[in-house]
Chain A
Amino acid sequence: MFENIYPQLIGLCAGALLLTSALMVWRHSLLASIRLLALQGIALAALVAVIGIAEGESELVIVSLLILSVKGLGLPWVLAHQSKAAIKQIQESPRLNPTAALLTVTLLTILSYVVVSRVFGLGDSSTGHAAPIGLAMVLIGFLLLISRRRARSQLIGFLVLDNGIATLTFLTSGGVPILLEFAFSLDVLLVVLILHVFAGRMRNKFGGTAVDQLRELHD
């Protein structure tokens, strides 16, 4: 029973991951981006859980719970830690218009399929088929980093990049030891907290967090 639906479940989770990434490029509202990030975290946790059940490794199931708590709930909560009314107002004005951005996402996805099949070989397993999604997420995260002006939107780009790396790891090598995964998650949480505080101070000091206006160093 489970063997039959396993490839479909993997495909579903991977598809959700790619779709959330692409939607994040499309949507301009910060609140929408954060919600999509939460969805992506949940999809990543589901992917890990499915792999864990299929391989019969209880450790991976625990990792999936960890991912769910950190990436699905914790990080989005930290990012949205502001009054709903205020955050609804925040609209990103990206440096790339939505059409061009979505076209670029398509090209990047194609590129990652080409690269993974040529360089690593796709393999016959369903996880191997889904592996290019991880690379595509890394590239899309990078695209978000360079096309967004606000510090918090860039942070979201960074998190998508990190999710992409995690996806690629789980799909190609069946995950990393739990201790390492725990350390990575804590690292990311710490980075986000620091950058969040930093963005808050930037807003207090300069009245905005538009990174492209910061060009000179001062004492």
Chain B
Amino acid sequence: MTGMEAGLLLQLGLGALAVVTALTAAPSLRSRAGGILCALIAVTGFLTGLGAMLGGTGSLRISITLPMDPLVLAPDRLGGLFMLIVSGVGILVSLYSMSSTRGPDASRTAWVAMPMFLVGMQLVPAATDSVSFLLAWEIMTLGSTLLLLADHASRTRVASAGIWYSAMSQLSFFFILAGFAVLAAASGGTSFSSLQAIEPGPANVAFVLFLLGFGGKAELVPLHVWVPRVLPEAPSHVSAAMSGAMVKIGVYGGLLVCVRLLPDGPAWWGIAIMVVGGASALYGILQASVSSDLKVLLAYSTTENMGLVFLGLGASMLLRGYDAQAAADAALVAALLLAVSHAAFKSTLFLGAGAIIHATGERNLDRLGGLGARMPVTATAFGIASLGAAAIPITSGFVAEWMLLQSLIHGGRLDGAVVSVAASVAMPVAVAVVALTAGLALLTFVKAYGIAFLARPRSIEAADAREVPPLMQLSLALGALFVLALGLLPGPIAALVAHTVSPNPDAAVQSVGLGGVSLPGIGAVLDPIMLVVLSALVAIPVIVSIIVSARRYPHRTVELPWGGGGSRARPRMQYTATSYAEPLMRVFDDVLKPSRDVQVTHVAESRYLVERVRVEQRVSDVFETRLYRPVLNLIQRYGIVVRHVANGSIHRYLSYSFVALLIVLIVVSL
């Protein structure tokens, strides 16, 4: 038995043990025991994934009684990378949930669902045939649904989110199942190695089905409608696992199709993925930038990041079709790095949001503020992760977006000549999309961090906030540390990632200098540590001169005798999340179509004096109101009509069988 086999077997065994423990352990011990076992599952997955990524082999064959081939789990390098991503998030989430869960989130059902969710996610990338892939996929979906619904009894929005999530998950599953069915029918096998060399006709159908299926899981527009409902309503550690890890499984599905199963697609596949990715990135960040609910903001930002990942993937497919191999590999590695860094910063951000909710019970940014002084560790970790999300240098997000932009800018040309008209149009548009997205992301996360952690508290709850328990702090710090590590030492990580997808990795990405990264095919180099040293060289003289000059001129106290209103500043006079985003809302009014409601109450004695003004503004999801609502209404109308067919009368049902039997008899005797 190789280490890989032992790792896979151990994950399954620990998963079963965790389920049994959750069912039998006393309530006081449940969270601790469940958390430790889930962390062990994740650590095992991490080591197995690392082994697979470094080229380890080994397979686990599970024979089943059904008349088909046995299920084979054997992760390849790419599968290993994704196993690493999801189990890394799993470790953070398990540590965090040990002390964060309470009430219904710590129920027996929730702790049964948690190991299911983790094991399901970790085994999807290990599957080598469509049956085991779909099986692991369903275990993952079932586990996450149960976790989401843990608190359904006391909050009605959770139940509604659960319905949306189940419906959209099943829709995704249906598309993926149909995609595999088309491939299996065309090739005559279910294992991934036999699902190759497909005719263009079925391949096109399968591609569209897979794009819809995996795009739904990866929160791409227009299948993202579950995201702003589910991620905010789920317990925060579950949101972190969903956004940090589960959507990566959707990305893995996309890669599985585009890199492994159907690698030689026509050019329109790449363009289709780029369009969907670009639209998701723009729409996601626009919605995030105007949201004042912290978790809704993070949820929409996930759509944005996954959009960028798919943009990179699409660009890579397009360029590979024109033999621009180095740029194609760079774009693919950029997409993967973006996925890795998103896993790190987004899980940290969601866990940070969970810490804020833990401390204040609020997730509305307009009622937060001043948490930086009260929760220093959370504030630091959230701040670093926000820098990552806004793609600021020395964080992971920057490296990934830099690499994506490099490949997009230089990808349209090969040896000085334009590779194709399609690429020379698509690439500049993609650059513009990424640039706009990056700008809006910066605004969004300045808002998220600034309004929540800086200034003065906007509510009593925020003023009374206390730092969260040590284990939660530990997982936040670990997440933030990883965001920084990826940003400071991108070279080795990028080179490792390149080995998972590229046939010739050294031509695409190399590690140079002190952990710097170089793209030989494009001729671009990024060395973050050198950047830090350089900026320190510039900054140190400036800081020293400021300190010196401050010493020279002693501090003068300024008294405000009259103050001009400034001495009576109150928390309500500060910027809020809504007012900060107001200019943006004006600019993008046509896209977002906010609904505003202004109610003015006059003083009873005079119409000229206003007693109170109440402004309510809601930004609804355009796709939900324009696309999903009409369809849902149609289904509902159809459902009401069909209710007469199945009215509960046993006689009617029996008559149906009788008539069916008669029809069969008449048909066979004709």
Contact = CB atoms under 8 A, between A and B. Distances in A.
A142 interface: yes
A146 B651 contact: yes
Contacts of A95: 651
B647 A119 contact: no
A23 B467 CA distance: 84
B650 interface: yes
Contacts of A118: 668-669
B658 A216 contact: no
A112 B661 CA distance: 12
Interface string B657-668: 110011001101
A9 B668 CA distance: 31
A115 B668 contact: yes
B643 to A, nearest CB: 12
A212 B669 CA distance: 33
Interface string A199-219: 000000000000110111000
B667 to A, nearest CB: 10
A115 B665 contact: yes
B647 A215 contact: yes
B86 to A, nearest CB: 40
A111 B661 CA distance: 12
Contacts of A215: 647-649
Given A118-B669, A119-B668, A211 B658 contact: no
A111 B662 contact: yes
A215 B665 CA distance: 30
A18 interface: no
A145 B657 CA distance: 11
Nearest to A111: B665
Nearest to A112: B665
A149 B650 CA distance: 10
Main secondary structure of the interface of B (DSSP, over half): helix
A212 B665 contact: no
B654 interface: yes
A161 to B, nearest CB: 11
B456 to A, nearest CB: 53
B668 A214 contact: no
A186 interface: no
A212 B650 contact: yes
Given A142-B658, A142-B661, A146-B658, A115 B651 contact: no
Contacts of B545: none
Given A111-B666, A115-B669, A119-B669, A143 B658 contact: yes
Contact of B651 (A111, A112, A212, A216): A212
Contacts of B636: none
A87 interface: no
Nearest to B661: A142
B669 A216 contact: no
B655 interface: yes
Interface in B226-264: none
B634 to A, nearest CB: 27
Nearest to A215: B648
Contacts of B669: 111, 114-115, 118-119
Contacts of B647: 215
Nearest to B657: A142
Given A139-B661, A146-B655, 6 more contacts: A95-B651, A111-B669, A143-B658, A145-B654, A149-B651, A214-B648
Interface of B: 647-651, 654-655, 657-658, 661-662, 665-666, 668-669
28 contacts: A95-B651, A111-B662, A111-B665, A112-B665, A114-B669, A115-B665, A115-B666, A115-B669, A118-B668, A118-B669, A119-B669, A139-B661, A142-B654, A142-B657, A142-B661, A145-B654, A146-B651, A146-B654, A146-B658, A147-B651, A149-B651, A211-B651, A212-B649, A214-B650, A215-B647, A215-B648, A215-B649, A216-B648
